[in-house]
Amino acid sequence: MNIREYQVPFLVIVAVLALLVASPVLSRLLVFPRTEFFTELWLLGPGHMAEDYPYNVTRGQNYTVFLGVGDRLGYCGYYRVEVKFRNQSQPVPESFGPLGNRSSSGLPSLYSIVAFVGDELVWETPLTFSFDYSYNEGLGQVEFSSLTLNGSVLDLSGYVSGWNATRSEFYGNLFFETWIYNGTTQGFQYHERFVGLRFNMTLS
Amino acid sequence: MRSVLFWFAGLACVLLVACAPSLVHSAGEHDAGLAVANAESRVAECYNFALEAERAGANVSELLRILNEAGDLLSKAELAFGVGDYDGAGVYAAQCEGRLAGFEVQAQALRDSAAWQRQLDLMVNVVGSAAGTVAVLVGGWLVWRFLKKRHGVAEAAAA
């Protein structure tokens, strides 16, 4: 028997054993680093699907949607979702252009939803809302009084919406902007993401 | 002279009665504003504790649950303050701070525990694994040398 004939099988066995023992340390070294860090923001309809969003809104009627935030920043985020409402002529947040250059709507926030979301986790909350408004026949416009959001009454006095003949609607836009806490400045900065719902305020 | 003093005192009393509600209102607004600002600072401070614990490798889901509850109360406090309900704002702000009582201790305990686990994990999995690999390679080489030597001696004896 020549021992050299067994050299290759012996080397293979030792190499396999060494790889097995080294697997814990290799699993730490051979990890692809995360390169994309971002936040997701979404609105789902009443059936928890991206469909059946309310459009024709009736005064005093309750509607439910789901607002969600997904954190992929590599750390837990401290978010504020600012609830805002606008008519057709009021400013909308910028949705075009590269991230870093988009600005928020200058409209005042009606309500601030606070959310802490862990890394690689999602946070979701149901939003039940209704509008109180009246129709001013003389001016031909809808005049808003309040928005009730999850039981909190938010003042909408001064908000009006004129008739849009092209689209045959009294336009209303409820939108949600994300702001994120910046530990360096110890303040919130616009996170350049927003979602919204477009309504036709019906008179029935 | 006495009648002049009497009239001045009377005028002062009327002014005091007229201004009292707005003075009370202003004090209430100031106190509520301070309470809301304190609650905001406290929430941000606790978020930083949670962030530190997370960086140490701790599971911070329980801390985030507490923060979300406190955040909900903070939102309510801010809304109440915005509509001039200063009593309500003060109550919600106090509830928010109350919800965060002991948060720092809990976060630090989680952080320390995670740091210890991390060290242990490093020792067992990284140092242990690296040392084991070296041992397997050196052991294999020694065994091969021994077998080769033994085989050489046997061959020489046979010859």
pLDDT digits (tens, 9 = 90+) for B9-46: 766 656 555 555 555 556 688 999 999 999 999 999 99
**Rounded Cα–Cα distance for residues A21 and A130 (Å):** 62
| Cα atoms in the Cβ-side hemisphere of radius 13 Å centred on A167 | 14
Domain that holds residue B91: 2-121
Instruction: Give mean pLDDT, residues B122-136.
Output: 88
Residue B152's pLDDT is: 81
Best residue of A21, A30, A69, A113 to probe chain B, by most B CBs closer than 10 Å: A21
Q: Torsions phi, psi of A30, nearest 5?
A: -90, 55
Instruction: Give mean pLDDT, residues A83-89.
Output: 93
Best residue of A25, A69, A122, A189 to probe chain B, by most B CBs closer than 10 Å: A25
Size of interface A-B (CB pairs under 8 A): 88
Q: Closest by alpha carbon to A82, among A199, A192, A175?
A: A175
Identify the band that residue A91 occupies on the pLDDT scale cut at 50, 70 and 90.
Answer: confident
**Fold of domain A38-201:** Immunoglobulin-like (2.60.40)
In degrees, to the nearest 5, what angle opens at C-alpha A115 toward C-alphas A112 and A118? 160
Residue B110's pLDDT is: 96
Decide if pLDDT at A145 tops 60: yes
Least confident of A158-162, B40-44, B123-127: B123-127
Minimal Cα distance from A182: which residue of B?
B44
Decide if pLDDT at B121 tops 70: yes
Q: Closest by alpha carbon to B32, among B72, B70, B89?
A: B89
CATH (domain of B72):
1.20.140
Report yes or no on B159 lying in a domain.
no
If residue B92 lies in a helix (H) or strand (E), which one and from where to where?
Answer: helix B86-99
Instruction: Give mean pLDDT, residues A180-203.
Output: 94
State the complex-level ipTM. Answer: 0.85
Domain ranges of chain A: 1-31, 38-201
Minimal Cα distance from A23: which residue of B?
B129
**Cβ–Cβ of B133/A18 closer than 8 Å?**
yes
Report yes or no on B158 lying in a domain.
no
Using a pLDDT cut of 90, give the percent of chain A over it: 75
Least confident of A31-40, A160-169, B34-43, B76-85: A31-40
Decide if pLDDT at A81 tops 80: yes
Q: What is the mean pLDDT of chain B?
A: 87
Nearest to A118 among B60, B124, B140 (CB): B60
Identify the band that residue B1 occupies on the pLDDT scale cut at 50, 70 and 90.
Answer: low
Identify the band that residue A144 occupies on the pLDDT scale cut at 50, 70 and 90.
Answer: very high
Identify the band that residue A25 occupies on the pLDDT scale cut at 50, 70 and 90.
Answer: confident
- What secondary structure does DSSP assign to chain A, as a single string? --GGGGHHHHHHHHHHHHHHHHHHHHHHHS-PPP---EEEEEEE-TTSSS-----EE-TT--EEEEEEEEEESSS-EEEEEEEEEE-TTS-----SS-TTS-----SPPSEEEEEEE-TT-EEEEEEEEEEEEEEETTTTEEEEEEEEETTEEEE-TT-EEEEETTTTEEEEEEEEEEEEEETTTTEEEEEEEEEEEEEEE---
**Rounded Cα–Cα distance for residues B140 and A146 (Å):** 80
Identify the band that residue B148 occupies on the pLDDT scale cut at 50, 70 and 90.
Answer: confident
Instruction: Give mean pLDDT, residues A98-126.
Output: 91
Q: Closest by alpha carbon to A197, among A60, A66, A59?
A: A66
Instruction: Give mean pLDDT, residues A20-47.
Output: 89
**Cβ–Cβ of A3/B147 closer than 8 Å?**
yes
Identify the band that residue A38 occupies on the pLDDT scale cut at 50, 70 and 90.
Answer: very high
Contacts 24+ apart (CB under 8 A), A52-55: A53/A197, A54/A197, A54/A199, A55/A198, A55/A199, A55/A200
Instruction: Give mean pLDDT, residues B93-102.
Output: 96
Domain total for chain B? Answer: 1
pTM here?
0.80
